[in-house]
Every structure is written in structure tokens, then in C-alpha cells.
Amino acid sequence: MEEKKFVVEPGSTPAPAPYRIVIDAQGPYLVYGAPPLRQYFLTPDRDGEIWSFRPGKSYSTEKEPTALCRCGRSKNKPYCDGSHLEAYWDPSLQASEEPLLNGAEITEGPEVSLADNRTFCAFARFCDAKGQVWNLVEQEGEEAAQLTLREADHCPAGRLLAWDNPLQPHEPHFEPSLGLLEDPQRHCSGPLWVRGGIPVQRPDGFTYEIRNRVTLCRCGQSSNKPFCDGTHAVLRFQDQLPRNTATIEGEW
């Protein structure tokens, strides 16, 4: 039998089997391999600029598969409760089959380079800190270079990729895992953060480019489904999950 070949983004490593996400044609994300699932809060620094992820409550993915809500209507989020069957929403998948870098704008700076594909913006805003990454990449000096790398690495959607080596992008290491992004600053809940090269597969069997960082729509209203396009921020989407971060330890 011929082995399936997948497109893998430069700098990314595919997660081992059995990790994968299969999109139900009319409903949820079906998660295989039991990757850890946890809330992550977009957290500002003292200047009010989004700077880090703070971990929150964990949720089980032991059920095989675990069905996670995609329509935004479940009353049992993050899990699917069948609400998609009666909800008025468009479950169709509009995202291109092309690799992310094919549609990216490249900025070559004196120290590092930056690729930016705005189609995949999840409105996390790490790119805005310290004068914005698009300005930082054009500046000389080690400090600007390190800030460019940091801000690109923290883009949960992988919209931004930075190079300090001409052969491949600079990428943080992630074990296969999932995050439920929460945005207290904008009073909304964000996308499903897929990390560590977990494949995302359409109902027809097509597997999107495997990437180290991907954000999948949870509000059901993205125009680039299955990927997030930031619409949740406009809608002030709420997943109604606990937001108490008082006992949370650690950040990235």
C-alpha cells in the first residue's frame, strides 16, 4: 500500500500517530491520541501589551475520539453536545489547500527575516508589543532580532514565522497538545490552539499542511474555517468556561 504523503511546513515536525484531528462535516472536531487540553489566557505586561500565555484549567481528552465544539453553540463547551444539528451556522470549510508560506509576505531584515500570512490571523496581538514586529524586523541589533523571534514564536496561529537561519524558520518546541485560548483583555474566548504538528484532516480525507502552530475556529463564524480569522473578537464569543486565574502558576 502506498504511504500517504503530507505537506509539512518548514521548521515543523509531524506529531507521531495516533495524534490527529478529524473535522466532522456538519459538527465537531474529533480528537485522537488524547493530547493534553488546557486553557491558556492571553496575558498583558505592565504596559498593557499582550506578552505571555498563562495556563488555566485542564480538560480530559481520554475519550476516543473526543468531540470538541466547532459551531460555538454547545452548552457543554469545550465539548460537543449536538447543538450543531439545530444551530444556524455554516459548517463548510473555506480554507485554501495551499501551504501557509505560499501566501505570505516576506520581510528581509538586517538580522532576521519575517513571513506573514494575514489570512491566518487569530488576533492574539503578541505582534503589537514593543513597537510591532513588522518594525522590529527592519531594525539592526540583537535586541530587535530577539524581540522579532519572540513575537513571531508567540503567534499561536503560526501566521508569523521568523528566520534567524536562512534554511528554516525559528520555531518553539511543543509537545502535541491543545489549548483553549481566552482573551480577558478583549472580554472574549478565542480559538483552539493546536500545537506540536498534530495533523488536521477534512471529512474527505485531505490533510491540511502540518504545522507546529495552528488555531482552529471555535466560534463557528470564521471565514477561513477550519482556521481562526479573528472573528471571535468581533463577536465577543464566550465559551462560558471558568476564568479564575488566581491559583494559576507559570507562563510562557
Q: Is position 153 within any domain?
A: yes
**Interval 171-191 mean pLDDT:** 97
The residues that bridge with 170 in the sheet, in sequence order, are: 162
Of the three residues 170, 187, 213, the one that is the final residue of a domain is: 170
Task: Kindly state whether residues 162 and 53 are assigned to the same domain.
Answer: no
Q: Is position 60 within any domain?
A: yes
Reading the block at residue 49, the C-alpha cell is: 501589551
Q: Is position 199 within any domain?
A: yes
Name the percent of the chain lying above pLDDT 70.
96
**Is residue 233's pLDDT more than 50?**
yes
Task: Kindly state whether residues 85 and 191 are assigned to the same domain.
Answer: yes
Task: Kindly state whether residues 89 and 25 are assigned to the same domain.
Answer: yes
Reading the block at residue 73, the C-alpha cell is: 453553540
Q: Is position 150 within any domain?
A: yes
Report pTM: 0.96
Of the three residues 125, 143, 170, the one that is the final residue of a domain is: 170
Task: Kindly state whether residues 25 and 92 are assigned to the same domain.
Answer: yes
Q: Quick one: pLDDT at residue 165?
A: 83
| CB-based contact 165:10 (threshold 8 Å) | no
How far is residue 45's CA from residue 164's CA, in Å, rounded to a whole number?
25
User: In one letter, which amino acid is 154?
Assistant: H
Query: 186-222: per-residue pLDDT in tens?
Result: 999 999 999 999 999 999 999 999 999 999 999 999 9
**Is residue 246's pLDDT more than 70?**
no
Tell whether the torsion through CA atoms of 67, 70, 72 and 78 is positive or negative.
Answer: positive
**Is residue 80's pLDDT more than 70?**
yes
Q: Is position 181 within any domain?
A: yes
Longest pairwise C-alpha distance within the chain: 57
**Is residue 1's pLDDT more than 60?**
no
Query: 109-129: per-residue pLDDT in tens?
Result: 999 999 999 999 999 999 999
Task: Kindly state whether residues 75 and 137 are assigned to the same domain.
Answer: no
Residue 28 is part of which domain span? 20-96+175-235
Task: Kindly state whether residues 229 and 128 are assigned to the same domain.
Answer: no
**Interval 41-48 mean pLDDT:** 97
The values of phi and psi at residue 128, to 5°, are -90, -15
For 218, the 3-state DSSP assignment is coil
The values of phi and psi at residue 120, to 5°, are -100, 15
Q: Is position 225 within any domain?
A: yes
Of the three residues 170, 194, 220, the one that is the final residue of a domain is: 170
Task: Kindly state whether residues 152 and 59 are assigned to the same domain.
Answer: no
Task: Kindly state whether residues 186 and 154 are assigned to the same domain.
Answer: no
Domain count along the chain: 2
| CB-based contact 126:154 (threshold 8 Å) | yes
